[in-house]
């Protein structure tokens, strides 16, 4: 919201208070001042000057030499030979800065010293609308009543300061100069005065003879309020109006249209003006548009309406898209003599939806979209008729037409000073509360320690004592809260659930394993399903889709972490990082049914781990997971499996308690290529919810054996397709687990050294130990024999 100080001054006398002070005070009471804009700052050192005499340049035919009076006597050489003594012109002195940024220097022009130069309108950032002649590309000759020797910005009243103020969503009343003025009055302690052109609307019912109102959609239009002026003369607006509109980025058009825009800025009430002659049947009908009803709006484009859109119609057709834009054929024309001012209240979501569905936005629709109070319609109409009458542009017609089915009820909030203290925690004296609320135009009375505040129509945001407390404290000052105070309350222990604690434990482990934690978006591209080679019927393709994503690449909620991790790996590969380990624990979203109805999708936490580099292979990546499971005391089972995006013979599925909890392996080269990766990369996904839930704490101390262990290595020859897992479990089954404390494979090789094709050599280390005695050789030999027999019989494995 742009607020020129001069405009503000129409309502509150802020003389003697600097714009910076006003800004600080507004910030202190809840209005963020984003910028203080000095409109005159890009043109400096330009003063008004009267030309005293003109003579020919001694050395150049096309130049003239002017002796001038500004804030002193100067000489200026110019080629504007039409200038004559007595003309008042802008004079850029030595060192002056123009709108373009050019700095003027005095200097000799063909042998005659010129103290500066005369400027045109463009150099001063003026247009024809500001000063007549400013649009022409020559020296601007100013009106004869312009004071001489003063800064041109001041002389032309361009020296305004504009505050750019952010308005919070609750303060819909502050989206206008008037609303801000109320705050400034309260916060500076000065009086709020209403300009004289807020007239009382003339009573009577002359308007009823020419016009009636039918509101068929009170749910979308809570008030349709209109007044009429007649004998209207369409003309240009006075300079101050044009300037104020221009400063807000609005284009001056004619006095009547300018009035509607001026009120939008001053009151915050969007207005519309119709030429009465276009209101066929003398009837304004507020209704939902018919399907495919068409209107050509003021922007010259045709819009097709639907019952979703509210239209302001005459007896036959739509004249305006309610709150958004008027129709081209129903506005104000040069020959208009009877004008109907609309000052309506449209529901914000209705205007918002219409604006969006038509792709048409206007100052009016933007204002309505924020919401409008039920007070501004009257103020807008008073001002509109008042401006016409005061400027002598026409006559007011007695009476108004008004559809206002549910007038705002009178609202009073009652409270005590201690109610306020219970909210704030500090005590604000009663007299302070009283004066603050009254200064905010919230009429408040105090009797017997009880306050009663009558809530004015423009403060629909105030509903209860908490709102009153806020009004009080934002004026009383938030710096009234002491520092270093204590909080009292029930004794509560801050707790972290087991899952939360384990999540942190997993992350720490992964960091210790050399992995960096990534951060990836939860929404991914639907192309990822093909990039991962998922089959057409894959459940992973059943993803939640956003209605309004930032783009297709961010349009579906991920059902696995694979895509996100592969993208992160690709980033590192493409940027030539030689190796990396990455991990993330984030949610995937698994809908039970699609589309979503009354059931939210299951949100599952997944641990994803990705790696590449010279030191990585399947086993190095798997080792990280094995160590993690060990750390969490979760026993798992790895078995060969296939997944569409993974290497067919280098992928292990991980299960625990008989359920699948993830996978680990090498990414298939086809998938890697889809991500622009030309290296072997490794990927694992594990159900983090499972890990967090079933991770076990340390429990049950075991006494260690005091007897020595016996280690034996066996070199076995087996079919190459016999998995390590089978060999190990066969050994465990065969041996007394009390005595066989550990069994591991420490070497596997295949090749020429083995006499038979299709065989591999597996070196197994067995560790035996008893808790009760030192094992003797014979015992160990017997145990090994038993193992060998079992290996032979169940898997055909022989000693090498």
Partner 1 sequence: MSNDELKELFKEQLQIIEAAPVSDDVKKLLTDRSEGVIEELAALKDKTDRRDVENFRVKHFGKSGDITELTRLIGKAPVESKKATGAVVNGIRNFFEKMFTEAEKEFSEREYAARIRDEALDVTLSRSNLNEETGALNPISIVKNDIVSIFAGMGFSVVDGPEIEFTKYNFELLNIPEDHPARDPGDSFYINPEILLRTQTSCVQARTMLESKPPIRVVCPGKVYRPDEDATHSPMFHQIEGLVVDENVTLKDLKAVLEQFARRFFSENTKVRFRPSFFPFTEPSVEVDLSCAMCGGKGCRLCKGTGWLELLGAGVVNPAVFDMCGIDSKKYSGFAFGMGLERAAMVKYGIPDMRLLFDNDKRILSQFK
Decide: is 593 part of the binding site for partner 1 (CB under 8 A): no
Stretch that binds partner 1, among 113-121, 313-321, 397-405, 576-584 (CB under 8 A): 576-584
Q: Which of 191, 299, 407, 478 binds partner 1 (CB under 8 A)?
A: 478
Please tell me whether residue 483 binds partner 1 under the rule CB under 8 A: yes
Chain center to CA of 151: 42
Rounded to whole angstroms, the Cα distance separating 259 from 238 reads 11
Helix (H) or strand (E) holding 611: strand 602-612
Least distance (Å) between residue 651 CB and partner 1: 22
Prior bond of 595 cis (ω within 30°)? yes
3-class SS of residue 505: helix
Rounded to whole angstroms, the Cα distance separating 386 from 201 reads 8
Q: Distance between CA 298 and CA 306 in Å, rounded?
A: 19
Shortest distance (Å) from residue 755 CB to partner 1: 36
Q: Is 575 in the site for partner 1 (CB under 8 A)?
A: yes
Hey, which residues does 326 pair with through a beta bridge? 320
Considering only residues 404 through 443, tell me which ones interact with partner 1, judged by CB under 8 A: 421-426
CA-derived radius of gyration, the chain: 42
Q: Which stretch binds partner 1 (CB under 8 A): 300-308, 320-328, 364-372, 534-542?
A: 364-372
Residue 411: HSE in the Cβ half-sphere, 13 Å Cα cutoff? 17
Q: How many residues bind partner 1, per CB under 8 A?
A: 99
Asked whether position 481 contacts partner 1 by CB under 8 A, the answer is yes
Task: Determine which residue in the list 613, 622, 709, 779 makes contact with partner 1, applying CB under 8 A.
Answer: 613
Applying CB under 8 A, among 62, 492, 659, 758 the residue interacting with partner 1 is 492
Closest CB to partner 1 among 132 and 348?
348
Question: C-beta of 486: minimal distance to partner 1 in Å?
Answer: 6
Query: 718 - beta bridge partners?
Result: 760
| 482: contact with partner 1 by CB under 8 A | yes
What is the rounded distance in angstroms from the CA atom of residue 329 to the CA atom of residue 123?
38
Residues 161-190 that bind partner 1 (CB under 8 A): 168-171
572 lies in the site for partner 1, by CB under 8 A: yes
Q: Which of 490, 536, 704, 752 binds partner 1 (CB under 8 A)?
A: 490
Q: For the packed helices 239-247 and 255-266, what is the interaxial angle rounded to 10 degrees?
A: 50
**Between residue 201 and residue 240, which ones bind partner 1 under the rule CB under 8 A?**
none
- Measured in whole angstroms, the distance separating CA 509 from the mean position of its chain's CA atoms is 36
**709 interacts with partner 1 by CB under 8 A:** no
Phi-psi region of 258 (alpha: psi -120 to 50; beta: other; left: phi over 0): alpha
Out of 370, 726, 765, 790, the residue judged to bind partner 1 by CB under 8 A: 370
Minimum CB distance to partner 1, residue 784 (Å) = 34
Separation CA 90–CA 151 (nearest Å)? 9
Name the minimum Å distance from CB 497 to partner 1. Answer: 7
246 binds partner 1 (CB under 8 A): no
Would you say 715 and 765 are in contact if contact means Cβ atoms under 8 Å apart? no
Q: Is 323 in the site for partner 1 (CB under 8 A)?
A: no
For residue 482, the minimal CB distance to partner 1 (Å) is 7
**Candidate residues 210, 348, 374, 411; the one interacting with partner 1 per rule CB under 8 A:** 348
Residue closer to partner 1 by CB (options 580, 710) is 580
- Comparing CA positions, the residue from 38, 380, 13, 5 lying closest to residue 225 is 380
**Taking CB under 8 A as the rule, does residue 794 contact partner 1?**
no
Q: What is the DSSP letter of 427?
A: -
DSSP string, 731-793: HHHHS-TTTEEEEEEEEEE-STTSSSTTEEEEEEEEEE--SSSPPPHHHHHHHHHHHHHHHHH
Binder of partner 1 out of 193, 209, 251, 356 (CB under 8 A):
356
What length is written for the chain?
Answer: 800
Among positions 528-547, residues that touch partner 1 (CB under 8 A) are 544-547
Instruction: Considering the complex, state which of residue 497 and residue 699 has its C-beta at the smaller distance from partner 1.
Output: 497
Instruction: Decide: is 29 part of the binding site for partner 1 (CB under 8 A).
Output: yes
């Amino acid at each position: 919201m742009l607020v020129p100080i001069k405009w503000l001054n129409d309502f509150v006398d802020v003389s003697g208070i600097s714009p910076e002070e006003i800004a600080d005070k507004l910030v202190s009471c809840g209005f963020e001042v984003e910028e203080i804009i000095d409109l005159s700052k890009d043109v400096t050192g330009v003063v008004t000057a009267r030309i005293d005499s003109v003579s020919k340049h001694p050395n150049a035919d096309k130049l003239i030499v002017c002796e001038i009076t500004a804030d002193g006597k100067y000489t200026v050489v110019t080629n504007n030979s039409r200038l004559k003594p007595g003309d008042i012109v802008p004079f850029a002195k030595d060192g002056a800065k123009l709108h373009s940024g050019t700095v003027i220097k005095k200097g000799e022009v063909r042998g005659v010293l010129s103290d500066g130069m005369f400027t045109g309108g463009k150099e001063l950032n003026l247009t024809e609308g500001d000063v007549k002649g400013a649009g022409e590309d020559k020296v601007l000759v100013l009106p004869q009543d312009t004071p001489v020797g003063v800064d041109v910005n001041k002389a032309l009243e361009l020296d305004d300061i504009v505050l750019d103020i952010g308005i919070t969503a609750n303060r819909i009343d502050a989206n206008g100069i008037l609303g801000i003025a109320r705050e400034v009055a309260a916060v500076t302690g000065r009086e709020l005065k209403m300009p004289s052109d807020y007239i009382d609307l003339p009573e009577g019912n002359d308007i009823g003879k020419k016009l009636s109102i039918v509101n068929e959609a009170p749910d979308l239009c809570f008030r349709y309020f209109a007044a009429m002026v007649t004998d209207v003369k369409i003309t240009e607006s006075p300079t101050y109006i044009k300037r104020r509109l221009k400063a807000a980025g609005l284009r001056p058009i004619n006095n009547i249209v300018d009035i509607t825009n001026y009120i939008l800025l001053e009151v915050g009430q969007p207005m519309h003006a119709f030429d009465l002659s276009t209101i066929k049947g003398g009837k304004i009908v507020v209704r939902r548009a018919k399907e495919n009803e068409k209107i050509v709006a003021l922007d010259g484009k045709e819009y097709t309406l639907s019952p979703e859109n509210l239209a302001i119609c005459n007896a036959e057709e739509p004249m305006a898209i309610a709150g958004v834009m008027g129709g081209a054929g129903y506005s104000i024309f040069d020959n208009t003599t009877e004008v109907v001012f609309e000052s309506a209240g449209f529901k914000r979501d209705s205007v918002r939806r219409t604006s969006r569905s038509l792709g048409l936005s206007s100052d009016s629709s933007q204002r309505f979209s924020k919401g409008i109070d039920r007070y501004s319609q009257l103020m807008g109409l008073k001002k509109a008729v008042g401006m016409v009458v005061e400027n002598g542009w026409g006559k007011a017609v007695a009476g108004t037409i008004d559809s206002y089915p549910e007038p705002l009820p009178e609202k009073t909030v009652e409270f005590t000073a201690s109610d306020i203290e219970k909210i704030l925690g500090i005590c604000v004296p009663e007299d302070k509360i009283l004066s603050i609320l009254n200064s905010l135009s919230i009429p408040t009375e105090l009797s017997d320690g009880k306050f009663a505040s009558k809530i004015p129509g423009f403060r629909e945001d105030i509903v209860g004592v908490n709102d009153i407390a806020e009004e009080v404290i934002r004026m009383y000052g938030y710096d009234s809260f002491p520092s270093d105070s204590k909080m009292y309350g029930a004794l509560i222990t801050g707790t972290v659930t087991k899952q939360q604690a384990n999540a942190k434990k997993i992350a720490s482990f992964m960091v210790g394993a050399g992995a960096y934690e990534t951060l990836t978006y939860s929404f991914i591209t639907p192309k990822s399903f093909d990039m991962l080679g998922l089959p057409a019927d894959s459940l992973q393709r059943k993803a939640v889709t956003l209605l309004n994503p930032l783009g297709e690449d961010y349009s579906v909620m991920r059902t696995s972490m694979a895509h996100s991790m592969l993208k992160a790996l690709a980033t590192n590969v493409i940027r030539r990082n030689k190796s990396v380990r990455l991990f993330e624990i984030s949610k995937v979203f698994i809908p039970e049914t699609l589309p979503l109805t009354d059931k939210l999708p299951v949100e599952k936490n997944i641990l994803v781990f990705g790696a590449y580099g010279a030191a990585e292979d399947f086993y190095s990546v798997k080792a990280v997971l094995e160590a993690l499971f060990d750390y969490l005391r979760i026993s798992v089972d790895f078995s060969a499996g296939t997944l569409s995006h993974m290497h067919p013979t280098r992928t292990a599925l991980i299960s625990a308690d008989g359920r699948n909890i993830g996978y680990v392996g090498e990414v298939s080269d086809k998938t890697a290529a889809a991500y622009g990766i030309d290296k072997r990369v490794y990927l694992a996904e594990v159900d983090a919810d499972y890990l967090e839930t079933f991770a076990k704490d340390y429990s049950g101390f075991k006494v260690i054996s005091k007897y020595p262990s016996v280690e034996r290595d066996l070199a076995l020859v087996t079919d190459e397709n016999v998995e390590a897992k089978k060999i190990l479990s066969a050994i465990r089954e065969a041996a007394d687990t009390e005595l066989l404390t550990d069994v591991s494979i420490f070497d596997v090789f295949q090749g020429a050294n083995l006499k038979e094709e299709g065989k591999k050599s597996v070196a197994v280390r067995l560790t035996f130990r008893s808790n009760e005695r030192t094992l003797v050789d014979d015992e160990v030999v017997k145990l090994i024999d038993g193992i060998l027999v079992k290996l032979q019989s169940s898997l055909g494995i022989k000693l090498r």
